[in-house]
A and B are shown apart, each in its own frame.
Chain A
Amino acid sequence: MRVDRSVSLSPAMAWVAGLPILGCMMVMSLPALADERVLAFRLFYAVAYLFWIVPLGWLQRWLWRRGAGWWAMAGVLLPVTYVMSVANALLALYFIASEKMRAQVGPAWVFGGLDGCWLALIAFCGFQAIALHRAALALEIERVREAGQAARDAELRALRYQLQPHFLFNTLNAISALVTDDRPRDATRMIARLGDFLRTTLEDGAGHEHTVADEVALTSAYLDIEIARLGERLRVETFTAPGALEARVPYLLLQPLVENAVRHGIAPRPAPGTITIRFERDGRDLWVSVANDMEGTSTGASGVGLANVRARLEALYPDNHQIVAGPEGGRWVVRISLPWSLGQVGMEPVA
């Protein structure tokens, strides 16, 4: 995975990241508590460490942002920490050590480095490297997640917008037929209902889901147009369970189902037919059903409309939905279950 170097740590956070090592230094100095001078030495080292990790941390983050590799960083940071450590040893020797101690230690102690704070500084660099890497990784994971979300949104949008234009053109075509037929009353009725439907859809939010009440309103505005077209041949009844009006459903879930019910179920019948829409609750599921009277072997919702609904349900509730369609007692019934959730607001905006 490519590591994004634009992410970094704040200096304060880097400093805090250095504190565990300070803790280690404290623990290591416990045996020296008895000797006042050794204790002073240890304290000086600790303070010096806290001081050095500020420029050191800055240098490492600068190298990180410049895209330096691990070897290049080691090549710069090892000598720099060594120099810091030696400087520390020299300062301690001049300001804190007793005459006796100064006499005891030679250049080997000063330049050997291992007794100074070199190891602690190197450990700090290690800590900071891990922290930087983790931050970059978290950002990358977030990006992948967002990309997935965007792809899902795009897919849902594509499925959703597919529903409207052809319906619009069919209606315009019906109106134009009414005008040529010299049926101005029916034409104006249809136009008024189309206006109503457009107002209802256009003013809706752009979410993937809305409430059952919204869905009922939209579907009824749509069916008003079909009723204007088919007259008394089409009857529609809608039933909802108590409280179901506030449950969430995918936007325009019913429209393709109802459209199919009209086209394949009601329109071919010489006698009037009824479409029954129900929203019911069963435990943690919301059950939505569309049933239509049918003519002989004709069906209701099938084909493109049903495939579209399936695809949207799969995208919205991957493992949490059912959809069954088939004849039941002389009627064609489509049943859908999806997770029951309430919500007037909180529609996810399409990014």
Chain B
Amino acid sequence: MIRVAVIDDEPLARSGVISRLKAEADVTVVEQCADGYGLAALRNDRVDLVIVDVQMPGMSGLEGLAAIPRDERPLAVFLTAHDSFAVRAFELEAVDYLLKPIDDERFGEALERVRRKLGRDARPAAAERFAIRIGSRLAFVDVDAVTWIEADGDYAALHANGQRHLLRESLNELSRKLDPARFLRVHRSAIVRIDQVVELLPRPNRDAVLRLRDGTTLRASRTYIDALMAALHHTATV
């Protein structure tokens, strides 16, 4: 079980997080606090993960986390309306930084990251090819042919060989089957193959727009940017 503490000065915001956590079978909420003082008293022998607001009366979430000795700190996911604290949050080795209002898919992904950090990841082996159902016929698409994948309702649409194939799987499920060194989430509804990115233009507010080889242009949200930049630099130097 992942033991979680939820820290937010607004009771409604706390209950929003808690009700989302209830849907996760491997998570249990063990603590609730309304400010950074409560957070500063927590240690990782009792709590595995803290989900923290930044701006709270008294002591902020960032100060509260910084007050815990480094090797006794639980994992932290920040959840705030402001995107200006992200740098400081990642300096404190935050696992993720989410923006309010909460996006369920994005929230689920943060929990995935936490599971991976805690070594409770159930990632299956990377898929080699995908089975596409077209009427009663079954066709197969090689992973190597896929340039990018977009969410389409509850399904995923694979772009391969200039065609669009609908896969009866959500983007979240699909992303777990892909090799993270080659495919990266850039947006809640898009995954791109890293070597397809030919242009990336950062915007002043920290999100970015990227262009793929075929001219397809996508927005990359700010919460994915850091991983994307790291991956692009990596592939560029290798």
Return the CB mask of A167-207 against B: 1 if under 8 Å, else 0: 00000000000000000010011011111100110011100
Inter-chain CA distance A232–B166, complex, in Å, is: 11
B100, B154, B201 — most chain A CB neighbours (10 Å): B201
- List chain A residues, Cβ under 8 A from B203: 213-214, 217
- List chain A residues, Cβ under 8 A from B216: 237-239
Is B103 at the interface (CB under 8 A from chain A)? Answer: yes
Is A330 at the interface (CB under 8 A from chain B)? Answer: no
The answer to whether B218 touches A238, judged by C-beta atoms less than 8 angstroms apart, is yes
Closest B-chain residue to A245, C-beta based? B201
Q: Assuming A238-B218, A239-B215, A240-B215, is B205 touching A203 (CB within 8 A)?
A: yes
Return the CB mask of B73-100 against A: 1 if under 8 Å, else 0: 0000000000100000000000000011
The answer to whether A224 touches B189, judged by C-beta atoms less than 8 angstroms apart, is yes
The answer to whether A191 touches B152, judged by C-beta atoms less than 8 angstroms apart, is no
Distance of B154 from chain A, by nearest CB (Å): 8
Inter-chain CA distance A235–B153, complex, in Å, is: 10
Contact partner of B104 among A185, A205, A211, A239, CB < 8 A? A185
Inter-chain CA distance A200–B209, complex, in Å, is: 13
Inter-chain CA distance A217–B104, complex, in Å, is: 21
Inter-chain CA distance A127–B38, complex, in Å, is: 81
Inter-chain CA distance A242–B216, complex, in Å, is: 11
Closest B-chain residue to A205, C-beta based? B204
Is A216 at the interface (CB under 8 A from chain B)? Answer: yes
Distance of A348 from chain B, by nearest CB (Å): 16
Return the CB mask of B93-127 against A: 1 if under 8 Å, else 0: 00000011111111000000000000000000000
The answer to whether A188 touches B211, judged by C-beta atoms less than 8 angstroms apart, is no
Which B113-163 residues have C-beta < 8 A from chain A?
A: 152-155
Ordered by A's residue number, 6 sampled pairs between the chains whose C-beta atoms are within 8 Å are A192-B101, A193-B103, A195-B99, A199-B83, A211-B201, A220-B219
Q: Which residues of B contact A (CB under 8 A)?
A: 83, 99-106, 152-155, 189, 198-199, 201, 203-205, 207-209, 211, 214-219, 221
